[in-house]
Amino acid sequence: MVCPVLRCGLVFLLCAGSFLRVSAQSQLLDSAFLSKKKLYTSIHEALKEPEKVYRLALVDEYLDELPSRISELINLQYLDVSQNKLTALPTDICDLPNLQIIKARNNQIERLPEGIERLQNLIELDCSVNLITELPPEIKALKKLKRLNLQKNRLKSLPEEFGDLQKLEECNLSLNRLTELPKRFSLCTQLVDLDCSENKLTLLNDDFTQLTKLQVLELTNNKLTALPEKLGSLFQLRRLLLSYNKIVSIPPTISSLKKLQILRLEFNALTSLPTELGSVLYLQELYLNGNHLKEFPGILCNLRSLKILQLSGNAIPALPNNINECVNLQSLHLARNVINALPQTISKLTNLRELLIAGNPITQNTKTIDTWRETLANTTVVWR
């Protein structure tokens, strides 16, 4: 039978040990202070003074596993184990509650660690270029997560719990195998930058347009045939990249994207553009190569901020006489259309630096073209 005095002593020692461990843990540092802390690049050196280690980088070390003693680095807030041969992140790192940043890109990781829900101070997680096939529902516990990079994995779907990442601002899901986004994805309302390029998405639900803080949306190379009718609700968009899909039309609500500067729609199935596009007055770059346009969209002449306009690989027969109203145009691509003459007003595009008209059946007198080329002395003209 244990003496009551001895029992009390044991309890005191256990409690004291826990207290000392908690006391030794420092407060969370903001990014500025954290970046000034010493960066340890050897686990052996780090374990010599574990309480002083805030940042640890074991990059390109051919590691196939991390040492279990990493859990002794109780103040660790930044961990970079990129470019190794890790097949998993150990559960031990989940015993480091102060971890704010984990970078583990370019490994062979197949899953996120069990217990990841304990990393409730995690702000950034980069597991790009790995072999992850699914995310655990427990990811919902990462309430402070702002940046998530899962580019080039093997994800076929996302759990509905993904929508609980309501502090998420930047998310890269490109180069996966996603066929749809979960309905609750629309709850990630703090998203500013979303990249879902190179997947197999066929549809964006109308709920998607609740992501009203989005400034950059990349959906290149998917299987989209249409865009949400409420696209205009994404009124903060600056860049909208939709190339290499099967989109047949653009909703009229695009007129509400007043801040849009770059719109990429190359290699879709567009036969026309909505007149409302002419209201997007801050648009600077528009890419429409490889569509099925049979006429030059006249509304484009309203876009006085336009600097780059690419329309190669369509079936456009002529340019409008008021093309010179695109006063800031610097690059104009019209190759591989069916244009047989250029309007004289094209010579009034004094800011034009590049004119590509090769692959058209131009029948105009070459002297006329040479005269325009003299007028546009600072313009590179490729017409054969």
Give residue 374's pLDDT: 73
The answer on 162 and 81 residing in a single domain is no
User: Could you tell me how far CA 27 lies from the centroid of its own chain?
Assistant: 31
- Among 200, 224, 258, identify where a domain stops: 258
The answer on 154 and 126 residing in a single domain is no
Identify whether 382 is part of a domain: yes
Identify whether 362 is part of a domain: yes
Question: What is the H or E stretch that residue 7 is in?
Answer: helix 4-24
Contact 323, 301 (CB under 8 A): yes
Please write down the HEC assignment for all residues of 150-201. Answer: CCCCCCCCCCHHHHHCCCCCEEECCCCCCCCCCHHHHHCCCCCEEECCCCCC
Identify whether 275 is part of a domain: no
Give the C-alpha separation, 49 to 366, whole Å.
78
Give the C-alpha separation, 195 to 292, whole Å.
26
The answer on 316 and 220 residing in a single domain is no
pLDDT in tens, 3-28: 454 444 444 434 444 444 444 556 89
The answer on 203 and 124 residing in a single domain is no
Give the C-alpha separation, 206 to 335, whole Å.
36
Q: Tell me how many domains the chain contains.
A: 3
Contact 70, 63 (CB under 8 A): no
* Sign of the four-CA dihedral 234, 237, 243, 249: positive
Identify whether 333 is part of a domain: yes
Q: How many residues are listed for the chain in this entry? A: 384
Cβ neighbors of 345 (< 8 A, separation 6 or more) are 321, 322, 323, 324
Give residue 22's pLDDT: 43
- Among 103, 132, 161, identify where a domain stops: 132
Give the C-alpha separation, 80 to 258, whole Å.
40
Give residue 378's pLDDT: 84
Give the C-alpha separation, 127 to 135, whole Å.
11
Among 271, 230, 235, 282, smallest CA distance to 251 is for 230
Give residue 365's pLDDT: 67
Among 73, 71, 66, 67, smallest CA distance to 87 is for 66
- Among 94, 109, 132, identify where a domain stops: 132
The answer on 234 and 171 residing in a single domain is yes
Give residue 12's pLDDT: 40
Cβ neighbors of 314 (< 8 A, separation 6 or more) are 288, 289, 290, 291, 292, 293, 294, 336, 337
Identify whether 342 is part of a domain: yes
The answer on 235 and 180 residing in a single domain is yes
CATH number at residue 311: 3.80.10.10
The answer on 153 and 115 residing in a single domain is no
The answer on 253 and 142 residing in a single domain is yes
Give the C-alpha separation, 255 to 266, whole Å.
20
And the tokens for 77? Answer: 């807030």
The answer on 357 and 340 residing in a single domain is yes
Q: By 3-state DSSP, what share of the chain in percent is helix, strand and coil, each rounded to 5? A: 30, 10, 60
Q: Which parts of the chain sit beneath pLDDT 50?
A: 1-3, 5-23
Identify whether 208 is part of a domain: yes
Among 97, 91, 52, 47, smallest CA distance to 72 is for 47
pLDDT in tens, 144-182: 999 999 999 999 999 999 999 999 999 999 999 999 999
Identify whether 4 is part of a domain: no
The answer on 179 and 112 residing in a single domain is no
213: domain range? Answer: 136-258
Scan for tokens 């195998």, then name that residue: 177
Identify whether 173 is part of a domain: yes
Give the C-alpha separation, 293 to 2, whole Å.
89
The answer on 98 and 172 residing in a single domain is no
Output the CA–CA distances (angstroms, integers) from residue 162 to 66, 79, 96, in the order listed.
Answer: 27, 23, 23
The answer on 297 and 384 residing in a single domain is yes
